Amino acid sequence: MQINHFTDIQAWQEARMLNSEIHRHTQNEPLAKNFGLRDQMQRSSVSIMANIAEGFGRGGKKEFIRFLRISHGSAYELSSHLYVALDLGYINQEDFDTAQSKITDTVKLIGGFIRYLRKKD
């Protein structure tokens, strides 16, 4: 499949679904009232998608890979925030596991895409 737009990138599509899930969780109390953690979770979630899109728009492979790495880092940041939310009792174990699984899938897709771009001439 040829990629003509950043929305064609499977990692971006997975990140979009993850973002929707994170926003659903952060709208529920008590997490919704912890403005700092809620905002950080939302921002890191959005950052995953945004950096994939921005990297695509930069037009160069080296720059694209740099932004994919930033996106990768934002996914790990979100994972850490989820641990805080779990430890504070803001989300239950099932929701935590589901979100962490989506993060893992997203990270794998981003990593695979980086490897693909490195090999591509």
pLDDT in tens, 81-105: 999 999 999 999 999 999 999 999 9
Long-range contacts of 20-23 (CB under 8 A, 24+ apart): 21/98, 21/99, 21/102, 22/78, 22/99
Q: Report pLDDT digits (tens) over 64-83.
A: 999 999 999 999 999 999 99
At residue 38, the pLDDT reads: 96
Domain count, the chain: 1
Asked if residue 1 belongs to a domain, the reply is no
Q: Which residue has the higher pLDDT, 14 or 2?
A: 14
Question: 36 to each of 7, 30, 41, 43, 62, how far by Cα in Å?
Answer: 29, 12, 9, 10, 34
CA–CA dist 111, 117 (Å, integer): 10
Rounded Cα distance between 119 and 46, Å, is 28
Q: How many CA atoms lie within 13 A of 68 on its CB side?
A: 25
> Does residue 80 lie within any of the structural domains?
yes
Tell me the residue range of the domain where 33 lies: 7-119
Residue 46, C-beta contacts closer than 8 angstroms, at least 6 positions apart: 19
pLDDT of the residue at 1: 64
Domain CATH number, residue 22: 1.20.1440.60
Answer whether residue 105 is part of any domain. Answer: yes
In a domain, 112, yes or no: yes
Q: Which residues, other chains included, contact 84 with Cβ-Cβ below 8 Å and sequence gap of 6+?
A: 37
Q: Does a structural domain hold residue 71?
A: yes
Q: What one-letter code names the amino acid at 43?
A: R
Q: How does residue 59 score in pLDDT terms, banded at 50, 70 and 90?
A: confident
Q: Which pLDDT score, from 0 to 100, does residue 120 have?
A: 80
